[in-house]
Amino acid sequence: MIKNKFIVIEGLEGAGKTHACIYIKNLLYTKYNIKKILLVRQPGSTKISEIIRKLIKKKYSENLTKETELLLMYAARIQLIKTKIKPALKKGIWVISDRHDLSSLAYQGGGLGIKKVIINQLKLLFLNNFTPDFTVYLDVCPKIGLKRALKRNSLDAIESRSLEFFTRTRKTYLKYIKLDKKSITINANENLQIVNKNIKKNISIWLKKQYI
C-alpha cells in the first residue's frame, strides 16, 4: 500500500486544472482503490481562504498592488495548509490541490515581476520544506487557455490581464517545472480525451515508482 501523497495540478487559466483534479481523484479511487482523498483549490477551500479568493479575483476601481496580491495569495495558502491540508495528510488522506506555491512564482513572479527572492522568503518563512510529492503541469498556449476561460463565464480580474502577462507566466512555469524532478508536463492544448490518456499514463508510471 502506497503512503498517502500531496498532488498538485498547475497551469494557466483554461488549462483544465479543475477537470484534472477530479479525473485524478476518480482514477485513484477506481483503479488504485484509494478511498480517502481531499480535493482543494488555491486560493480557497476554507471559509477565510474563499473570502480572500474573492478579494483577489473581483474587479475594483482600485487595483490591488502586486505586493498586496502576493501577500493575499500566501495568506489564503497558509490558512488552507494549516487547517486542512496538513491535518488531512496526518490522517492518511491523499490531497489533490488545484495550484500551490509554484503559481505564485509564475503569476506574481513571472507575470507581475516580483523578484523570486521575495517569493522564496515567504515560502521559506511560512511553508518551510512543505512541497508536493508530485506536480502535474498542464501546459496550454495562453490564447487557447483564455478562449476556453471566456466560454465558461465572464473573465475575473486575473483572467482579464494581457496576453503578454500570461505569456510571461507560462514561460516562468516552464522554467521551474524543468527544474522539478517530481513533476511532469502534459500538453493541455490537446483535446480532453488525449489529455486524460496522458494524465492516466503518467500517474500510473509515478505510482509504480512509489512501490520501488
Which residues define the annotated binding site? 11-18
Query: How many CB atoms within 10 Å of residue 182?
Result: 11
Measure the CA–CA gap between 119 and 189, rounded to whole angstroms: 29
What's CA 147's distance to the chain center, in Å?
20
Binding residues for ATP: 11-18
Query: How many CB atoms within 10 Å of residue 96?
Result: 24
For 82, the grid coordinates are 494549516
| DSSP state at residue 188 | T
Comparing CA positions, the residue from 28, 109, 38, 37 lying closest to residue 73 is 109
Measure the CA–CA gap between 195 and 109, rounded to whole angstroms: 27
CB 117, CB 163: distance < 8 Å: no
CB 67, CB 114: distance < 8 Å: yes
Comparing CA positions, the residue from 73, 142, 68, 71 lying closest to residue 101 is 73
Measure the CA–CA gap between 10 and 63, rounded to whole angstroms: 25
